[in-house]
């Protein structure tokens, strides 16, 4: 169904005698035949379906006379449109591709971001990729946040996808990130072992939630590579792969990632701000920001090749914006 063919929302459905006893998801899908049962289930999970008489869940058995209100059901697009977007390819063969993803690029299509994705660029460059992740995520085995740069591995066929995904699940991959953070740790290395769950107020954020029913174990280690007056360069080694894990964990110990707007409050910094003396105001207007995204880079990834089993390490050089920020910090330090 195209966007233009969608019905007017909301849709109000009344359960008649013939539908009584059906599961809620089956009932809605039968009434709104343009949508799959899976799409209806996603809408229910997103809180888009309400029933006054009962708590809503897909398996709820509807009763005669009930009114079901459907706020909206989103269609699933068939997949990313191939787009001619330059890619920094670190490695490619018949089984996998490894890319140095730039900051600002979303990995796969999502609501509000249907073009300009890594998946679209890969579809143009390589054509057929693995289908295991679904039509919107061809080849995508793992992901990086939009404003995180660095190494990401992509599968070219389903067997390779399964072999790579199994490594991430078993935690046999080795992931190394570099990050510039606000604050200076009092130790050279540390382990952050704090469970992560949905943020209590911000839908797009995560938080340390030890007692939340959807909480998941999360472990991150870090080492200090370089210290400055008010900032530090860290090597970060996540042992688990939770959403926003590094960002949430570092913030929780008083080391928010530089220019992480969601968790640190500001999304840009200038050379003057990096080098100014604490307590002294800038007398001249700041120059253009040298960093306008979270200073987090996936520096290195070690995995076993999905066909040969050989251990391979891929490394992406530090991007220009983070390198410039470090040059500024080092110039003040020296």
Range of the domain at 49: 3-70
Active site residues: 145
Burial of 331 (0-12, 13-18, 19+ CB in 10 A): exposed
pLDDT at 329 over 90: yes
Q: Residue 123 corresponds to which tokens in the numbers above?
A: 């579809």
What pLDDT, on the 0 to 100 scale, is given for residue 282?
52
Q: Are residues 166 and 180 in the same domain?
A: no
Whose tokens are 């107020």? That residue is 201
Q: In this structure, is residue 78 part of a structural domain? A: no
37-78 per-position pLDDT tens digit: 888 998 999 899 999 766 789 999 999 889 999 999 987 666
Rounded-to-10 torsion of CA 254, 102, 269, 273:
90
For residue 100, give the CATH number of its domain.
Answer: 3.30.2350.10
Q: In angstroms, rounded to a whole number, what is the distance separating the alpha carbons of residues 226 and 71?
A: 52
Give the mean model confidence (pLDDT) for residues 181-195.
97
What pLDDT, on the 0 to 100 scale, is given for residue 4?
42
Return the top range by mean pLDDT from 12-21, 80-89, 102-111. 80-89
What pLDDT, on the 0 to 100 scale, is given for residue 111?
66
CA contacts within 13 A on the Cβ side of 312: 18
197-251 per-position pLDDT tens digit: 989 888 889 999 988 888 899 999 999 999 999 999 999 999 999 999 999 999 9
Q: In angstroms, rounded to a whole number, what is the distance separating the alpha carbons of residues 27 and 37?
A: 9
User: Domain end: 20, 42, 70, which one?
Assistant: 70
Q: In this structure, is residue 81 part of a structural domain? A: no
Q: Are residues 230 and 293 in the same domain?
A: yes
Instruction: Count up the domains in the chain and report the number.
Output: 3
Confidence of residue 330 (pLDDT cuts 50, 70, 90): very high
What pLDDT, on the 0 to 100 scale, is given for residue 275?
80
pLDDT at 302 over 80: yes
Give the global pTM. 0.78
State the alpha helices, DSSP H only, in 1-143. 24-31, 37-45, 118-126
Q: Residue 207 corresponds to which tokens in the numbers above?
A: 């938080």
Q: In this structure, is residue 80 part of a structural domain? A: no
Neighbours of 213 (CB within 10 A): 7
Q: In angstroms, rounded to a whole number, what is the distance separating the alpha carbons of residues 206 and 196?
A: 7
Helix axes 37-45, 24-31, angle to 10 degrees: 120
Give the mean model confidence (pLDDT) for residues 180-188.
97
Q: Are residues 125 and 222 in the same domain?
A: no
Q: In angstroms, rounded to a whole number, what is the distance separating the alpha carbons of residues 267 and 292?
A: 5
Give the mean model confidence (pLDDT) for residues 18-43.
88
Q: Are residues 58 and 141 in the same domain?
A: no
Give the mean model confidence (pLDDT) for residues 294-317.
98
pLDDT at 81 over 60: yes
For residue 49, give the CATH number of its domain.
Answer: 3.10.290.10
Q: In this structure, is residue 76 part of a structural domain? A: no
Of how many residues is the chain composed?
334
Q: Are residues 222 and 147 in the same domain?
A: no
């Amino acid at each position: 169904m195209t966007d233009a063919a969608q019905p007017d929302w909301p849709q109000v459905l009344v359960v008649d005698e013939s539908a009584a006893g059906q599961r809620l998801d089956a009932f809605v899908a039968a009434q709104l035949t343009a949508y799959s049962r899976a799409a209806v289930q996603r809408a229910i999970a997103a809180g888009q379906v309400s029933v006054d008489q009962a708590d809503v869940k897909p398996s709820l058995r509807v009763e005669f006379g009930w009114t079901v209100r459907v706020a909206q059901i989103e269609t699933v697009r068939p997949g990313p449109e191939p787009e001619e977007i330059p890619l920094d390819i670190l490695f490619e063969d018949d089984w996998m591709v490894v890319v140095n993803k730039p900051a600002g690029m979303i990995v796969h299509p999502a609501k509000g971001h249907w073009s300009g994705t890594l998946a679209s660029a890969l579809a143009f460059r390589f054509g057929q990729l693995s289908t295991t992740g679904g039509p919107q995520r061809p080849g995508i085995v793992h992901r990086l946040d939009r404003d995180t740069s660095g190494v990401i591995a992509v599968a070219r066929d389903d067997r390779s996808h399964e072999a790579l995904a199994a490594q991430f699940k078993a935690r046999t991959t080795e992931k190394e990130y570099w990050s510039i953070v606000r604050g200076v740790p009092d130790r050279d290395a540390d382990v952050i072992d704090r469970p992560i769950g949905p943020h209590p107020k911000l839908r797009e954020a995560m938080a340390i939630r030890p007692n939340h029913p959807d909480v998941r174990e999360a472990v991150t280690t870090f080492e200090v590579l370089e210290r400055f007056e008010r900032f530090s360069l860290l090597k970060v080694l996540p042992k688990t792969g939770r959403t926003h894990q590094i960002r949430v964990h570092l913030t929780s110990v008083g080391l928010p990632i530089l220019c992480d707007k969601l968790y640190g409050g500001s999304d840009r910094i200038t050379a003057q701000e990096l080098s100014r003396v604490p307590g002294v105001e800038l007398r001249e207007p700041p120059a253009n920001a040298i960093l306008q995204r979270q200073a987090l880079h996936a520096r290195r990834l070690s995995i076993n090749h999905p066909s040969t089993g050989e251990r391979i390490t891929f490394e992406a050089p530090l991007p220009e914006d983070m390198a410039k920020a470090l040059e500024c910090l080092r110039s003040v330090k020296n």
